[in-house]
């Protein structure tokens, strides 16, 4: 039974490689093979290559300085971080709050087997990520220092201890997240903010990684002395990785004991967490009078509720809402320098800075694309929307209006900040401010047209209409093309007209195109929507 449950858990993790949710069927063998090759390239080629380069950068210097233990300490910490980061969500989602908990507990399956299968799954996922760090680290160390039985045994035991640490951290964080999740009301917004915080932290570390490694190598002896003096356990742990069998035995025994303790703790707490439905509050009954909303307001409110209750929808179609205000702050601090630099680089094409900055603004405005999957997200519930006392034109208008409301205010903030610091004429500044707003309206109605023409109403996962449908592909290609034409057109011929005339021409193009597409949505688009089923 344990073997069967482990297979089930692993299949759930890699389900998308074998099952096509878009077509609701298993993938063909060539498609499965292609997905597996893609996965191997990502894990081995990209991640493994990154850490192979990092190992070559550090190992030689640290070994020459006689502190090879510090090399294993650093790479071990990187492996712990990557493995924990990669498996903690799986620990939370599959170990504690899996959707099939009640089904499995109702079957004649020992709870020990259920927990064991899920722990094995968490362990294997952590191992998968940490091996992309440890294997390149061991290869480089063996190449530079030679290989012997002691080093091989130490490397194997080091791997086992690191994998145990990763599993302990994943289970601990998963337990905390599961406990907190049961008490949260709006889990979607929390998921979005946590994900964005993780992305920001990742890219902050990524862009500073080179400076961190450089500072570490330049001051390695001082850091080594500090660790020996104030964190002797970390020094011993690094010696363990470098081949000290005495400390290898101590750490391996310790972590094996901790894993047994964690298993028993999870065994005791699993039932209470798995069968808890969440925090229930007692609410006194009150008679509340609701004011009747007009049809456009009701439709717009429905679209907004759909947006804020879906983390997938918010993260993939609302990223620009956060990026544009952040970019506005950046422009107020660094914008004047950026404009001066662009003017110096493109001195032969006056006004290029204004056009290129406008390109950046409309590019970020394009990251708010809620209208694109709006029709497909109705899915099998489309008939409910069509039975409402609202015309198809008003329904489509609400979908476009939501994107306009979400994209125009942050775009206005960014364009205002840009217009303030731009050293141009009043007309040019005015165009810099209003052009992104016109573009945002144009993007909203155009994406609504794509949504009507290329809907996917048969899906089992929200990722399909949000990221994998034809409308999503066409939308990305279209707005990349608009950005390239906007900037490239000025660089090629537009600079002869001047920035003011060029921006005014695009402003008229966006306005007229928006009017034409809106009329199409009210007529032909409404007819196509009414015929969807």
- Examine the fold and report which residue of 228, 258, 274 is the final residue of a domain before the chain moves on: 274
Task: Name the domain boundary from 232, 259, 274.
Answer: 274
Measured distance CA(297)–CA(291) in Å, rounded = 12
Top-ranked range on mean pLDDT: pick from 61-65, 129-133, 460-464: 129-133
Residues 114 and 70 in one domain: yes
Could you tell me the CA-to-CA distances from 122 to 126, 276, 430, 507 in Å, in that order?
Answer: 6, 22, 55, 53
What CA–CA distance (Å, rounded) separates 450 from 403?
14
Please tell me whether residues 180 and 311 are part of one structural domain.
no
Residue 280 lies in a domain: no
Q: Which residues contact 241 (CB under 8 A, 6 or more apart)?
A: 69, 72, 73, 75, 76, 154, 155, 158
Shared domain check, 115 and 65: yes
What is the per-residue pLDDT across 358-386, written as a single tens digit (0 to 9) for each?
Answer: 998 998 888 898 998 888 888 888 888 88
Number of domains present in the structure of the chain? 2
pLDDT value for 256: 81
Residue 380 lies in a domain: yes
Phi, psi of 26 (to 5 degrees): -70, 145
**Do 52 and 90 share a structural domain?**
yes
Average pLDDT over residues 116-141: 86
Backbone angles phi, psi at 455, to 5 degrees: -80, 155
Question: Which positions ≥6 away from 475 have C-beta within 8 Å?
Answer: 369, 372, 447, 450
In the structure, what pLDDT confidence band is assigned to residue 334 with cuts at 50, 70 and 90?
confident
- What separation in angstroms does the CA of 103 have from each of 109, 175, 181, 277, 412? 10, 21, 21, 14, 51
DSSP secondary structure letters along 67-85: -HHHHHHHHHHHHHHHHHH
Domain identity same for 141 and 79:
yes
347 DSSP 8-state letter: T
pTM given for the model: 0.70
| Domain end call among 232, 255, 274 | 274
Q: pLDDT for 418-453, tens place per residue?
A: 888 887 788 888 988 999 999 999 999 999 999 998
User: What six digits make up the tokens of 422?
Assistant: 């731009």
Q: Tens of pLDDT along 397-426?
A: 999 999 999 999 999 999 999 888 887 788
* Mean pLDDT within 113-130: 82
Contact 241, 67 (CB under 8 A): no
Q: Are 380 and 441 found together in one domain?
A: yes
24 burial (CB, 10 Å; 0-12 / 13-18 / 19+) is exposed
Q: 375 and 267, same structural domain? A: no
Do 368 and 515 belong to one domain? yes
Is residue 262 located within the same domain as residue 143?
Answer: yes
- 401 plus 491 within the same structural domain: yes
141's enclosing H/E stretch is helix 111-145
Range of lowest pLDDT (102-111, 150-159, 408-417, 492-501): 102-111
Residue 281 lies in a domain: no
**Cα–Cα–Cα angle for 178, 184, 187, nearest 5°?**
85
Containing structural domain, residue 355: 302-531
As a whole number of angstroms, the distance between CA 164 and CA 87 comes to: 13
Residue 27, domain member (yes or no): yes
C-alpha torsion sign, points 80, 81, 82, 85: positive
Q: Give the CA radius of gyration of the chain.
A: 28
Whether the pLDDT of residue 187 is over 90: the answer is no
């Amino acid at each position: 039974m344990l073997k069967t449950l482990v297979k089930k858990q692993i299949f759930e993790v890699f389900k998308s490689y074998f099952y096509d949710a878009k077509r609701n069927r298993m993938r063909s063998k060539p498609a499965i093979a292609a997905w597996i090759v893609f996965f191997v390239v990502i894990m081995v080629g990209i991640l493994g290559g990154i850490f192979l380069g990092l190992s070559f950068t550090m190992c030689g210097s640290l070994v020459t300085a006689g502190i090879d233990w510090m090399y294993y300490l650093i790479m071990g910490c990187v492996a712990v971080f990557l493995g924990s980061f990669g498996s903690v969500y799986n620990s939370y989602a599959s170990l504690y709050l899996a959707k099939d908990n009640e089904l499995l507990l109702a079957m004649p399956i020992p709870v020990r087997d259920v927990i064991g299968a899920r722990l094995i799954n968490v362990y294997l996922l952590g191992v998968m990520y940490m091996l992309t760090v440890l294997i390149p680290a061991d290869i480089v160390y063996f190449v530079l220092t030679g290989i012997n039985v002691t080093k091989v045994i130490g490397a194997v035991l080091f791997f086992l201890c690191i994998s145990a640490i990763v599993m302990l951290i994943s289970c601990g964080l998963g337990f905390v997240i599961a406990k907190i999740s049961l008490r949260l009301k709006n889990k979607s917004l929390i998921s979005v903010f946590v994900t964005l915080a993780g992305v920001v932290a990742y890219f902050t570390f990524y862009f500073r990684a080179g400076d961190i490694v450089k500072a570490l190598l330049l001051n390695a002896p001082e850091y080594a002395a500090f660790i020996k003096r104030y964190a002797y356990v970390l020094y011993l742990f690094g010696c363990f990785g470098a081949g000290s069998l005495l400390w290898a035995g101590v750490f391996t025994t310790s972590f094996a004991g901790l894993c047994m303790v964690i298993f028993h703790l999870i065994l005791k707490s699993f039932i209470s967490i798995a069968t808890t439905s969440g925090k229930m509050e007692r609410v006194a009954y009150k008679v509340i009078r609701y004011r009747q909303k007009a049809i456009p307001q009701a439709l717009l409110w429905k679209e907004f509720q759909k947006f804020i209750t879906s983390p997938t929808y918010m993260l993939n179609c609302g990223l620009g809402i956060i990026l544009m205000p952040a970019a506005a702050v950046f422009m107020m601090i660094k914008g004047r320098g950026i404009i001066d630099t662009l003017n110096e680089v493109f001195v032969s094409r006056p006004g290029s800075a204004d056009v290129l900055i406008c390109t950046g603004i409309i590019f970020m405005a394009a990251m708010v694309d809620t209208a694109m999957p709006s029709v497909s997200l109705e899915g099998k519930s489309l008939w409910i929307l069509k039975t409402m006392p609202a015309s198809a034109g008003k329904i489509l208008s609400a979908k476009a209006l939501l994107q306009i409301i979400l994209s125009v205010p942050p775009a206005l903030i960014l364009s205002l900040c840009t217009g303030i610091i731009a050293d141009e004429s009043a007309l040019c500044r005015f165009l810099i401010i209003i052009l992104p707003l016109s573009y945002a309206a144009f993007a909203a109605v155009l994406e609504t047209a794509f949504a009507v023409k290329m809907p996917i109403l048969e899906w089992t996962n929200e990722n399909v209409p949000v990221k994998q449908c034809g409308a999503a592909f066409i939308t990305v290609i279209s707005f990349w093309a608009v950005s390239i034409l906007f900037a490239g057109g000025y660089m090629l011929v537009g600079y002869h007209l001047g920035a003011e005339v060029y921006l005014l021409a695009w402003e008229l193009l966006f306005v007229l195109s928006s009017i034409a597409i809106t009329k199409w949505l009210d007529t032909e688009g409404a007819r196509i929507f009414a015929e969807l089923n």
